[in-house]
Structure 1
Amino acid sequence: MLFKRKNPYYNPKKSHHTPYGFCNLEPTTIKQLDVYRWSLERHIHHLPKPPQQGYAHFAREWTQSPDFTLSGNRLWWISHATLLIRLNQCMIITDPVFSQRVSPVSFAGPKRRTQPAASIAELPHIDVIAISHNHYDHLDTASIRKLAARFPNINAVVPLGLKRKLHQLGINNVTELDWWEQTNINNIRFHAVPAHHWSQRSLLDRNHTLWCGWMMQTPEGSNTYFSGDTGFSEIMFRQIAEHFTSTDMAAIQIGAYAPRWFMHNQHIDPEQAVAIFNILHCRQAIGMHWGAFELADEPLDEPPQLLAAVRVRHGLLPECFESIKMGDSRPITSS
């Protein structure tokens, strides 16, 4: 850590707290030399490669207009890690990112290859924003400002350290949670659950704020899981499974995983996504965090292909864990 700032949330009884920030349940090291090596290899091998039939065809094949008139508990995939989740009339948006680039500046950094299935102006009424962590492809300041302007009474749930940031962006009602803490909004209980990742928005703030996934629970006990960004940790996911005996719907990351020697500490691949599906006793899941931005070395169209192959090896029916189009949706049914 380049700059050591004391952690105002530090609790020595919590293993993921440090005096100067936060850490994972299992050790994670991302070395600067590895970053340079990855960048050099991407340049030498001209990675990532384009989709097999080109970017324009990929966008047409994997995007459709959403139907927000559909009733009942439901999940819509908008783009990347941005989903709309309706639970008992409470509409939740996860990690809203509608900008063209995900970086500190608007003229550089990863650029969209596909557009969100709906604009902020086209969204139905939103009650809650759920943020997983502060990386630019998950916490997009321009998008949050626009949501705050359109929905002045909107709520937000965030991991430790991000409340002030959301206030600065115009969100007045912000609840900040540590892992395993919970809050109730519109009769939906939001549980902040562990993720295996990291946080940073500048050179001097590595791991100063927390990262998490979200388990959203209805009064009837139906559980909907949003993974956010995470690497694989069997210990961590079994802990989550101990707290929530089953998951009715899950949105699990399946993209930004290559090369594994570099990405394994921070992003899961489709094989690990299916392992998480099984550990959490999921009834249904959709893959997300792919198809919009080229954040790693795999081509945009590879994640759903790998997920389909893994599904076959594990004997899962296609409807159990799907790659759906951006704009498509699935009902959330409880067991």
Structure 2
Amino acid sequence: MNRRRLLTLLGLPLLGGAGYAGYASLRNPYYNGPVSDHFDGLRFHIPNITSDKSTGDLLKWQFDRNRQKWPERAPSAGQDKPPARVDGADLRVSYVGHASLLIQTHGVNILVDPVWSQRASPFRFAGPKRVNDPGIALTDLPPIDVVLISHNHYDHLDLATLSALSGNPRTRFLTPLGNDVIMRGHDSAIRAEAFDWDARVEVGRGVFVHFEPSYHWSARGLFDRRMALWSAFVIETPSGNIYHIADTGFADGAIFQQARDKHNGFRLAILPIGAYEPRWFMRDHHIDPDEAVRIFQICGAERALAHHWGTFQLTDEAIDEPPQRLTAALQREGIAASLFQTKRPGEVLELAVV
């Protein structure tokens, strides 16, 4: 059996080739730009941090794993039907599922990492399958002004969904460097715009999107590791900023303090809490609930919302372990559960101006 077939059967499409450090490509198919502190002319990297896993690490995890059983279906109670707009300073965040969210404030509709497909995989027949339906039906979405795509892993960049959203000529697709080529290569109607870390992009009505670093990586296959950039986002609004981290490790925690210093804290932080076991393999790229609470404290957010759990089984923890561990971590730190909430697909976080 060849390596590609083996990795597919092991479920590796969910991580876009994670763990395969034996890449040999000498050409970047997505991006050709100047060398910087996080781009060496071929691959992107996190300054002063090396976290690639070897093929041996990957196979050790796959053959020794203690994978908890998930239910085939874990449906939510209902679906959200969001309003056309949320004007003014009120903030409405609808949890679609996994890493997909609809953010509405100041009359701007922002969709983050939209995945409506049944699998987080390049294949229709294999790879992680969703256990609950998207919290908003695609046909119930309001007019989308901006789609933010954080990086190119299959549980975040879903080309079929992006094509479905591209019918509105006013929708902008904003993504880190290199991912625009992947999107347009699939469908030229996806009007993707690519930006580097530290970019600030105006999206209308006094709202801006900042591209910020995270401790993560990228790949769509076996030989393109770190050839497209990944990022967190800060959504700057007239009534406070939103810090959205798609995927990240914790590392030294420096970037979270830097985000606080740069943006003077946050009205809301949207932080991942799932896909973290086993820690020896995942800690460099995915935080666990305890680390999510630490980031909440470090970045100076008033409130937090959890995501990246409960829809696709990407790693080994049980489906309900992330929110349980989050509750325990908040209790240990003396933080009220209302300040860092979890939602099921179709549920909504609303923050009104007091």
Conserved 8 A contact 1:184-1:190: yes
Matches within 5 A, 1:315-330: 315-330=334-349
Return the offset for 1:221: 5.1
Distance (Å, rounded) in 2 between the aligned partners of 1:134 and 1:30 = 18
Return the offset for 1:87: 2.1
Q: Deviations over 1:63-120 (max 9, x none)?
A: 4321413844211110110000012111000000010111111111111111111221
Distance (Å, rounded) in 1 between the aligned partners of 2:228 and 2:353 = 34
Q: Deviations over 1:274-311 (max 9, x none)?
A: 11111110111111000100000001111000000000
Tell me whether 1:282 sits opposite 2:301 in the alignment. yes
Instruction: Give the corresponding residue for 2:225.
Output: 206
Conserved 8 A contact 1:148-1:170: no
Distance (Å, rounded) in 1 between the aligned partners of 2:132 and 2:288 = 21
Amino acid across the alignment from 2:184: H
101, 109, 114: which is aligned to 1:91? 109
Q: Helix, strand or coil: the match of 2:275?
A: coil
Q: Helix, strand or coil: the match of 1:146?
A: helix
Q: Helix, strand or coil: the match of 1:284?
A: strand
Instruction: Give the corresponding residue for 1:226.
Output: 244
Matches within 5 A, 1:138-177: 138-149=156-167, 151-168=168-185, 169-171=187-189, 173-177=191-195
Conserved 8 A contact 2:81-2:140: no
Q: What value does the CA root-mean-square deviation take over the aligned residues?
A: 1.8
Instruction: Give the corresponding residue for 1:81.
Output: 99
Instruction: Give the corresponding residue for 1:216.
Output: 235
Matches within 5 A, 1:183-332: 183-187=201-205, 188-218=207-237, 220=238, 222-233=240-251, 234-332=253-351
Distance (Å, rounded) in 1 between the aligned partners of 2:64 and 2:319 = 18
Distance (Å, rounded) in 1 between the aligned partners of 2:141 and 2:204 = 19
Conserved 8 A contact 1:98-1:120: yes
53, 59, 62: which is aligned to 1:36? 59
Distance (Å, rounded) in 2 between the aligned partners of 1:64 and 1:317 = 26
Conserved 8 A contact 1:248-1:334: no
Return the offset for 1:334: 6.4
Distance (Å, rounded) in 2 between the aligned partners of 1:264 and 1:212 = 17
Q: Deviations over 1:179-219 (max 9, x none)?
A: 1111101232100000111110022211110000110011x
Conserved 8 A contact 2:97-2:344: no
Structure 2 gaps of 5+ residues are 1-22
Conserved 8 A contact 1:225-1:247: yes
Distance (Å, rounded) in 1 between the aligned partners of 2:122 and 2:300 = 38
TM (norm. structure 1) is 0.91
Return the offset for 1:10: 3.0
Amino acid across the alignment from 2:80: P
Instruction: Give the corresponding residue for 1:65.
Output: 79
Amino acid across the alignment from 1:159: P
Q: How many percent identity over aligned positions? A: 34
Aligned residue pairs, count: 322
Q: Helix, strand or coil: the match of 1:325?
A: coil
Amino acid across the alignment from 2:69: K
Conserved 8 A contact 2:82-2:140: no
Conserved 8 A contact 2:166-2:191: no
Return the offset for 1:166: 2.8
